Amino acid sequence: MPILEVNNINTYYGGIQALKGISIDVTQGEIVTLIGSNGAGKSTTLKSISGLAKVKSGSIKFKKQDITNKPPHETTLLGVAHVPEGRRIFSNLTVKENLLMGAFSVKKKNIIEERMEMAFNYFPILKERLDQKGGTMSGGEQQMLAIGRALMMKPELLMLDEPSMGLAPIIVEKIFEIINQLNQDGMTILLVEQNAYQALSIANRGYVIQNGEIVLSGKGYDLIENEEIREAYLA
């Protein structure tokens, strides 16, 4: 049963139509990836789901509940976490403060501590750097902090926008390993990536977006084998 159902959404920036009837679904326990070139509409799809971009028509359901155009803090509270492109951690806050911001609605101290331990479990480096300012960490560490912060709400759907962007290959490997681990531990993941090969390698299914439309979809391993995909995105 799909946990997320995006049905025929159209999203505009002023007069520019960024999404033209996008429909995707994500089943509980899956990793689903959206691939496509720059400006195709991948980020806008995630923003439309989390409420950062306004959908003009179509609908979005999360766990059967209509979340179309719900504001980001509400979708977060319902269990949708969005780690945006470029990480967007709070540079002037420490690692600990960043993590606490992630748990903004949680009042109980023991639950906050439990969640922090869970984040440290995936990213031990965060525990070592608790008092370091976010902005002074490396790109890879900032990405880890951004994902760790999202985990503080114990989301049911984790949406990651280009987690590998600008990172050295060895760090990219590490990030993908952790995404895989999170999924094996039960997390449902919607992953936007330009690194199509790596994304499709860990994904159950993928959608290819071009100019705001889905042009192809299928199982991760089938898309890797697909000749058109190979030429356009895996060359």
Report d(CA 1, CA 95) in Å as an integer.
Answer: 37
Query: Any contact of residue 41 with ligand ATP (CB under 6 A)?
Result: yes
Using the minimum distance from each CB to ligand ATP, give the nearer residue, 33 or 43.
Answer: 43
What is the side-by-side strand order in the sheet with 2-13?
16-27, 2-13, 55-62, 65-66
Query: Any contact of residue 163 with ligand ATP (CB under 6 A)?
Result: no
Using the minimum distance from each CB to ligand ATP, give the nearer residue, 47 or 115.
Answer: 47
Using the minimum distance from each CB to ligand ATP, give the nearer residue, 48 or 183.
Answer: 48
Closest CA to 148 of 170, 126, 168: 126
Among 6, 26, 43, 214, binds ligand ATP (CB under 6 A): 43
Shortest CB 62 distance to ligand ATP, Å: 20
Q: Cβ distance 30 to 188 under 8 Å?
A: yes
- Residue 9: CB atoms within 10 A of its CB come to 23
Report d(CA 87, CA 68) in Å as an integer.
Answer: 24
Query: Any contact of residue 129 with ligand ATP (CB under 6 A)?
Result: no
Query: Any contact of residue 13 with ligand ATP (CB under 6 A)?
Result: yes
Among 44, 50, 188, 198, binds ligand ATP (CB under 6 A): 44
Q: What's the token pair of residue 185?
A: 């531990």
- In the chain the beta strands, taken as DSSP E runs, fall at 2-13, 16-27, 31-35, 55-62, 65-66, 80-83, 157-161, 188-193, 205-210, 213-219
Q: Are strands 2-13 and 16-27 parallel, antiparallel or unpaired?
A: antiparallel
Using the minimum distance from each CB to ligand ATP, give the nearer residue, 194 or 217.
Answer: 194
Q: Cβ distance 103 to 115 under 8 Å?
A: yes
**Stretch 165-184: interaction string toward ligand ATP, x if CB under 6 A:** --------------------
Query: Any contact of residue 110 with ligand ATP (CB under 6 A)?
Result: no
Number of amino acids touching ligand ATP (CB under 6 A)? 13
**Stretch 47-86: interaction string toward ligand ATP, x if CB under 6 A:** --------------------------------------x-
Using the minimum distance from each CB to ligand ATP, give the nearer residue, 119 or 158.
Answer: 158
Report d(CA 206, CA 209) in Å as an integer.
Answer: 10
Task: Using CB under 6 A, list all residues that contact ligand ATP.
Answer: 13, 16, 18, 36, 38-44, 85, 194
